[in-house]
């Protein structure tokens, strides 16, 4: 089935504000792989489960045309509202039924989205629409390896973050667990002989504390938790921010901390 958990307007707005753009390190890995396997020109890229368009915008400058596809109208509205990308088109749809001709797509990509796809139907569509030597690039991050750094309290901040995840774990859907497994089963099911999985891409960024809390709010498991008890969910966010600030010895949620994440990428190239 196709999961539909990110469609509300409020959730889409949170997603746009607090979800990360994939790092340049991953973009470069994807483009180098595509250059090696298919070569120029890079005409059409399709970003599946594009959400509010972070990954679409990252890759768009390297293709003549980028099409972002998502099941959520609200997510797409947020994506379309970002100016400055004339070669991106956003369309409502799913990864299992793609509106492209056979052998027409240079790159199929998905950022923190492929774990929601119906595996067999998606792979059948990928095989159909990719050009010979066209590529798949399915990327994400392993939240089990997330670490925070701020003066001497980084370990304590990381522990608070883990405690929040434990509260929300009962609301985790099975596809999120698949993502935590770095798409191992999907990788194994890809029918192309030429495939690889790159792990351990560690990336550091500096963000304000309020964005850490906003990121938690964007999770599907937090949204499920909120549906069961809105007040308790709201209190969890407030308390998490309060605990972070107290550990850091500061009062402003705009105080910046270093966030270290570990990304991975599944790459595959369709045979000639």
Quick one: tokens of 188?
């194994």
Quick one: tokens of 34?
């595509």
Burial letters 30-39, b for 16+ CB under 10 A, else e:
bbebbeebbe
Is residue 154 packed enough to be buried (19+ CB in 10 Å), middle (13-18) or exposed (0-12)? middle
State the pLDDT at residue 60.
98
Considering only CA atoms, which of 9, 38, 35 is closest in space to residue 130? 38
Considering only CA atoms, which of 212, 211, 233, 209 is closest in space to residue 222? 233
- Domains present along the chain, CATH in parentheses: 9-270 (3.40.50.150)
Check residue 94 and report its DSSP letter: B
Cβ-contact 240, 216 below 8 angstroms: yes
Q: Is the dihedral of CA 212, 117, 67, 73 positive or negative?
A: negative
State the pLDDT at residue 142.
81
Number of Cβ within 10 Å of residue 114's Cβ equals 26
State the pLDDT at residue 135.
98
State the pLDDT at residue 12.
47
**Strand pairing partners for 195?**
268
Residue in the structure block whose two tokens are 């560690």: 202
User: Which positions of the chain have pLDDT values less than 70?
Assistant: 1-20, 173-181
Number of Cβ within 10 Å of residue 198's Cβ equals 16
State the pLDDT at residue 182.
75
């Amino acid at each position: 089935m196709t999961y539909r958990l990110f469609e509300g307007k409020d959730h889409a707005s949170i997603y746009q504000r607090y979800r990360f753009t994939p790092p340049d390190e991953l973009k470069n890995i994807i483009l180098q792989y595509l250059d090696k396997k298919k070569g120029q020109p890079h005409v059409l890229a399709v970003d599946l489960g594009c959400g509010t368009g972070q990954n679409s915008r990252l890759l768009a400058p390297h293709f003549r045309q980028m099409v972002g596809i998502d099941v959520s109208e609200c997510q797409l509205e947020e994506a379309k509202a970002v100016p400055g990308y004339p070669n991106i088109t956003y369309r409502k749809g799913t990864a299992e039924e793609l509106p492209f001709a056979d052998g027409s797509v240079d790159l199929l990509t998905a950022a923190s989205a492929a774990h929601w796809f119906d595996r067999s139907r998606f792979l059948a569509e990928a095989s159909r629409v990719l050009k010979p030597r066209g590529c798949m690039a399915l990327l994400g991050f392993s939240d089990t390896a997330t670490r925070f750094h701020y003066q001497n309290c980084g370990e304590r901040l990381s522990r608070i973050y883990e405690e929040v995840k434990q509260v929300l774990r009962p609301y985790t859907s099975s596809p999120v667990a698949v993502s935590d497994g770095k798409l191992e089963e999907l990788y194994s099911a890809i029918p192309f002989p030429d495939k690889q999985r790159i792990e351990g891409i560690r990336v550091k960024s500096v963000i304000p504390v309020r964005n850490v809390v906003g990121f938690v709010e964007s999770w599907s498991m937090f949204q499920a938790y909120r549906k069961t008890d809105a007040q308790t969910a709201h209190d969890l966010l407030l308390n998490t921010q309060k605990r972070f600030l107290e550990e850091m010895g500061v009062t402003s949620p705009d105080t910046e901390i270093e966030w270290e994440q570990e990304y991975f990428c599944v790459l595959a190239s369709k045979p000639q």
